[in-house]
Chain A
Amino acid sequence: MTDILQSLPVYLVLIAALLNLVRRQWTLNLIALLVQFICLFPILWKVLPLQLALIHPFTGLMVTLILYLTLLGVGGVKPINLRDPLSSGEVFRALAGVFLIATLRAFLPQIQQAVFPLVSSDHLFVSLGLVLIGLLQLGTIREPFYLAIGILTFLSGFELLYSALEFSYLLEALLVAVNLLLAIVGAFFIVKNAESEAL
């Protein structure tokens, strides 16, 4: 039971990332992004002191807020409709995402042994999982909002992995700046697209 509870954030993070990869409903995606960032906290807390582990979820909260306010401004926030049938593209992305995660799980012991022997398997699984889902997102979309989510997911995975390897205040500060700037760039793109559609 304890094992399941300890692994719960890992699976929640990956499910949230998969949801962002598959579904194209802005409100749902924002909630999933927030869940993804918040659930990283217990995983980070295992390798970092509390104050430092809080930085990433707190940044995520601000990033989500920036994107939410932008979407609100352009009228993009709509009620979530879970009954919408999946399109063929969504089915493809879901299958590709699940396949990637399953392949990662299968090869995780070998990767851990060969490259990251000091990183716990749960930590490695969730960080590489986020990196792969982020990459898949970047490779399959053109919409700016999903580009921002894809890059944020990719960077979250990398930051998680790097936090288990070494920690530097300067690097952490720079990565926070990257995350916030990314949210601003995402917001800039969303506004631009809304403006050009309105013309």
Chain B
Amino acid sequence: MNNTVMIFIVLPVLLGLGLVLIQRVSKLSAVLGSLFPLILAMLAVIFANGLTLNVLGRFFILDDSLVIFGRTIQITADQLGIIALFYFLCFAWNLLSGLFKVGQWFNSLSLIITALWVSVQFINPFLYSAVIIELIALISVPLLSPRGTPAKSGVIRFLSMQTIAMPLILMSGWMVAGIETSPSAEELINRGALLVIAGFSLWAGIFPLHSWLPMLTEESHPWVISFLMTIMQIGLAIFFLKFLNQYPWLRNLEEIKPVLKWIGVLCVVSAGVIAAFQKKLSRIVGYLYLAGTGNIVLTMAFQQQGWLDLLTIYLLPRALSYWSLGYAFSLLREALGSEQLDFSELTGLIWRYPLISVLLLGSFLNIIGMPLFSLFPAHRIIWSILASENLPIRLLMSLGLLGMITLFLRLLARVIQPPEIADQDKKERTIMIVPVILIVLLMVLGGLLPQIYSTPVQNLLISFQNLLR
């Protein structure tokens, strides 16, 4: 067990399988489901400075690689920051999972899924990770589609898209294998790049292949879907960086930057415009993820100008925004006893559930990237970079933002609308005030003091040496 691969991939999978056995004891499962990833995240932080640890004069030295079926999985010390982030996310979601009816599989499968996302980043050859992403999609099914309800179209479409993406990524590697000796390298490069972009577009649900996203968020519990989508979005972003880092032909392709820029802008504008007209909050989560994907792609579009820093400072506030939104939606779902969270059900919400309303509105302001909130510093940089772009890009980005602001104003109008007399009773427990204030404070502090979130993760992507130059 003195090996990083065993500790951070094999052990969590085994622990996850162990949690399956005790899943009926929900409280114990929730406690252990939170404890294990927290310990793993702390171990990753401790060993990040070097794979040796001195405890009372006794040295613990970890190996950094493991050979499986003739292939090497390697996790070095400078990559442990990424692992810490993944397990911290798993901990954050498991911590509150006991408060909601997320299903008995959540604690065990979330740990296994996190371990698999970690393995995606470190398997060698890295293209084989595409198959692991397919495995993750399959393992997610019991979480996305709990027993007692028939299989719905969102999860079916999600599975189909993830499956179609896998061969595209695997083929891209084979396609460019002989690139150095080929007389028509340009053609091979274009084919390879097309396969990579198409594969990632299907995986992440890039516009116009996003239809499964709102369907899936509508069908699943907000706490479950927010975990799965957050870890998937961050996992895919880091995996795409790996492509850029490993493949000079992709990194140096002239068209890659404008293509990424347009993909990002189209995601942001489509999400904003469509979300502005939605009537169900559960579907809106899907569009918020689409906009989030767009913004992450935009931060990567500037990687050739040394903008890896931008993605780094963006990841943690983005994860916090999904976490707080997932929490607000889950509280709302339990309070209203509604799965769809239709706008009509939110009339006068602030009179009945003032704390949940504050959390909901604060989370929306945060995720849109409004001033004072934690996502604003990163969004401000993206917007200021895009200000120097051409007019269509500026117009489309403004339209996307306008759509999101319209959505917020619609929500605000509905929430503060005076309700029927009979509905005016406050139905909230006063104890809720503590977590709500803490979460809003976390969001606002991130806006006022951005270094709170950027300092812990400043060396997160240090292993992508080719992108740092």
Contacts and interface: CB of A to CB of B under 8 A. Distances in A.
Interface of A: 115, 131, 135, 138, 142, 144, 147, 150-151, 154-155, 158, 162, 165-166, 168-171, 173-175, 177-178, 181-182, 184-185, 188-189, 191-193, 195-197, 199
A170 B191 CA distance: 25
B128 A162 contact: no
B131 A147 contact: no
A171 B131 contact: yes
Contacts of A165: 174
A162 B170 contact: yes
B141 A178 contact: no
Contact of A174 (B70, B128, B149, B167): B128
- SS of B interface (majority): helix
Contacts of B138: 178, 181-182, 184-185
B226 interface: no
B160 A192 contact: no
B211 to A, nearest CB: 13
A178 B167 CA distance: 13
Interface stretch (B29-37, B150-158, B236-244, B296-304): B150-158
Contact of B160 (A147, A174, A178): A147
Interface in B172-227: 174, 191
B134 interface: yes
A51 B72 CA distance: 24
Interface string B129-149: 001101100110110010111
A154 B164 contact: yes
Chain B CB within 10 A, most for which of A165, A185, A188: A185
A191 B131 CA distance: 26
A144 B156 contact: yes
**How many of chain B's residues touch chain A, expressed as a range?**
20 to 34
B151 A171 contact: no
A191 B145 CA distance: 12
B139 A168 contact: no
B163 A155 contact: yes
Contacts of A142: 153, 156
Contact of A181 (B135, B148, B171): B135
Main secondary structure of the interface of A (DSSP, over half): helix
A144 B174 contact: no
Interface string B114-132: 0000000000000010011
Interface of B: 68-71, 128, 131-132, 134-135, 138-139, 141-142, 145, 147-151, 153, 156, 159-160, 163-164, 166-167, 170-171, 174, 191
Given A168-B128, A192-B151, A193-B150, A185 B71 contact: no
Contact of A192 (B71, B132, B149): B149
Contacts of B151: 144, 189, 192-193
B38 to A, nearest CB: 28
A197 to B, nearest CB: 8
A151 B159 contact: yes
Contacts of B163: 138, 151, 154-155
A166 B132 CA distance: 18
A167 to B, nearest CB: 11
Contacts of B153: 142
Report which residue of B138, B151, B170 has the largest number of chain A beta carbons within 10 angstroms of its beta carbon.
B151
B69 A173 contact: yes
Contacts of A155: 163
A182 B162 CA distance: 12
B131 A192 contact: no
A173 B163 CA distance: 17
**Highest count of chain A CB atoms <10 Å: which of B70, B142, B150:** B150
Nearest to B68: A170
A178 B148 contact: no
Nearest to A139: B160
A188 B141 contact: yes
A174 B142 CA distance: 20
18 contacts: A138-B160, A138-B163, A142-B153, A150-B160, A158-B167, A162-B171, A166-B174, A169-B69, A170-B128, A171-B128, A171-B170, A177-B135, A178-B138, A181-B135, A181-B138, A188-B141, A189-B151, A197-B150
Contacts of A188: 141-142
B5 to A, nearest CB: 13
Given A131-B167, A154-B164, A178-B138, 19 more contacts: A147-B159, A150-B160, A158-B170, A168-B69, A168-B128, A169-B69, A170-B69, A170-B70, A170-B128, A171-B128, A175-B131, A182-B138, A185-B138, A185-B141, A188-B142, A192-B151, A193-B150, A195-B148, A196-B149
Contact of A169 (B70, B141, B174): B70
Contacts of A158: 166-167, 170
Most chain-B CB neighbours within 10 Å: which of A151, A155, A170, A171? A170
A190 to B, nearest CB: 9
B391 to A, nearest CB: 38
A168 B147 CA distance: 37
B449 to A, nearest CB: 44
A196 B145 CA distance: 12
A152 B289 CA distance: 29
A108 B170 CA distance: 21
A174 B131 contact: yes
A151 B139 contact: no
A173 to B, nearest CB: 6
Contacts of A192: 145, 147-151
Nearest to A173: B69
A155 B134 CA distance: 11
Contacts of B132: 174
